[in-house]
Homo-oligomer: A and B are copies of this chain.
Amino acid sequence: MHDPSTCPGCAQPDLAFAPHDHTRCADDVLALAETQLAQGGQRLTPVRRRTLQILLEAHRAMGAYDVLERLAAEGFGHQPPVAYRALEFLEEHGLAHRIRRLNAFTACMHPGEIHAPAFLICRVCNVVAEAPGVAIGLALGQAAKKVGFTVERTTVEALGLCPACALAEGPVRGVA
């Protein structure tokens, strides 16, 4: 269940940042994921399902140990591999992404669509937005082609300031 009261995106829609469309919030994505996996002969088991749900509910990047804590509290295993395995499974199947700069994971908001995601990470508030990465993927593919490199997966992340934090920080000159 998507809870707007705890969702940073929903709570601050005026940010014009991380503009997520609610036509596809938690439940929808979850259903979609299940169908998609079944077609590939894969199973969305309880741990995996709950892990995805946790990421979707959090609506932000979470460390593996944060996810683990929640899983453990709900009766799943208490050891790191439990979380890592579920997260890796989700990532492999395009249902979650790893944010390397944060050593964290986030639910994919566009499962099934093209997957060369780019992430915008605010260095102040740590909010992560998934930007359309098609153009970037193309540019990267071209650069790789020139040297005969075969691209299989990409990591594209930008660190900087989200609009809100830029406003708060940007105008400052002589820091107090």
Contacts and interface: CB of A to CB of B under 8 A. Distances in A.
A142 interface: yes
B100 A155 contact: yes
Given A118-B140, A136-B140, A142-B135, A158 B148 contact: no
Interface of A: 16-19, 100-101, 118, 120, 122-123, 129, 131-133, 135-136, 138-140, 142-144, 146-163, 166, 170
A170 B133 CA distance: 27
B158 A17 contact: no
Contacts of A18: 147
A48 to B, nearest CB: 23
A131 B160 contact: no
B143 A131 contact: yes
A147 B19 contact: yes
Copies in the complex: 2
Given A19-B147, A149-B158, A152-B160, 13 more contacts: A120-B143, A120-B149, A131-B146, A131-B147, A131-B149, A132-B143, A140-B158, A148-B166, A149-B160, A149-B161, A153-B159, A154-B159, A155-B158
A156 B156 contact: yes
Given A143-B133, A143-B136, A161 B150 contact: yes
A122 B144 CA distance: 11
A17 B143 contact: no
A101 B99 CA distance: 10
Contacts of A153: 158-160
A30 to B, nearest CB: 26
